[in-house]
Amino acid sequence: MKRNAVRIMILLLAVVFAFCGCASSPEKPVYELSRYAENNDLLGGMLRVENGVLVDENGNEIVLHGVNLGNWLLIETWMSWIENYSDEWGYYDTIEVLSERFGAEKTAELINTYENNFIRETDIEQIEKLGFNCVRVPFWYRNFMTENGEWLTENPDDNPGFRQIDRLIELCRERNIYIILDMHGAPGGQSMNHSTGKAGRNELYTDNTCMDTCVELWKGIAERYKDEEVIAAYDLLNEPQNNGGYEGENAWQAESDEAVEKTNSAYDTLYKAVRETGDNHIISFEGIWSADVLPDPEENGYTNMLYQMHLYDTKASDIRSRVREMVKMRKKWGVAVFVGEYNNGEYEAYADMLYKDNGISTAKWTYKTFNAGEQWGIFNKDTERIDIKTASYEEILDFLQNELFTDSFTFNAEEMAAIY
């Protein structure tokens, strides 16, 4: 009933926007749907996987209808406010420029200002009002550690990465929203892609120091949150071996034997690291770009597993094929399944229907973007990009203090209607 009501109002809102010719107006209020959305059901304790479905502590089946908080803890330049110097420019490059120009302390102040203002209490309220019951949180190792793998602070309570996640947990707890923690950028990189924070590396599988650092980070996360029921799952590596378009000794193709062996070996190491802490949260492995690359959980002794795929397919036949893969995987292995990212273009509504009809949990990519057009962000803001190589510290800080609030972004009503 709740979802149908929200969908009807979103569709009506889209029609009004189109008729009035104001669909792109940034002055249009973004909280108009609040009166139509009911509260999420109360969290029923820590989630677990039972016979291929997610259930709470009371045995109630839970289907996650989520959205990614992309661009919050790991900025992807192409959908940001930062000058896009090249297709391979990553967050690592941005931090290097800022640190060289302004020093470590002022750079940390800019990052903290950005993170505090990009996702605020009003954003989590809005996410609930739009009917989502889960957020997937892309993060990277530099939220917690230096480039050399040292913790940013001796006391975890002072660590900026933990402080941001702690803040989000409390905001989500108040609104009965689950959190999936997604290692979007592992030490050394889990793929060649810029979305890891730095393009062209993929060194996690070949550099023992990188793997040791990743193990230490996941252990630190697990030790801190092992009893936290708001956290639904740990997504150990985002899009491992997403090496398309890259060349070099580490640019294995995602479904090649070598890529599969290295990825599943890394998953095994990280899975065991989390479990050694006594943490029994659901753990997610991603099949990039096929379910066939994922390991048999029973054969490997894995329990409480959520197997994940990302669907950016834009043909109906391809979407159906991927959904069949996921349903088959769930039936074969008893794992829960999750579309951790998706954007299906003009077939978005069709894809969403298939996800719902098959009881597949999802997380839309993504909540909030800059300069990404209407296709990618539920909220988007077109703005002049900042040249961080020349802009003053004061100019950058002023932007981060005043231009990140979601009420100045354009609400993509048509996109929301498609996923309801």
Average pLDDT over residues 138-153: 98
Residue 183 has a pLDDT of 99
Sheet with 368-370: strands ordered across: 368-370, 379-381, 410-411
Q: What is the pLDDT of residues 403-420, one digit of tens each?
A: 999 999 999 999 899 887
Residue 334 backbone phi and psi in degrees, to 5:
75, 15
Tell me the residue range of the domain where 303 lies. 2-418
Tally the domains of the chain. Answer: 1
pTM score: 0.92
Q: Is residue 41 very low, low, confident or very high in pLDDT (cuts 50, 70, 90)? A: confident
Average pLDDT over residues 175-188: 99
- Above 70 in pLDDT, residue 269? yes
Distance CA 292, CA 320 (A): 16
Average pLDDT over residues 244-252: 93
Please tell me the least confidently modeled range out of 15-19, 142-146, 348-352: 15-19
Query: How does the average pLDDT of the chain come out, rounded?
Result: 92
Residue 28 has a pLDDT of 36
Residue 7 has a pLDDT of 52
The string of DSSP letters for 48-82 reads EEETTEEE-TT--EE--EEEE-TTSSS--GGGSSB
- Above 90 in pLDDT, residue 5? no
Share of the chain above pLDDT 90, in %: 87
Q: 370: domain CATH number?
A: 3.20.20.80
Residue 22 has a pLDDT of 38
Share of the chain above pLDDT 70, in %: 91
Distance CA 185, CA 142 (A): 8
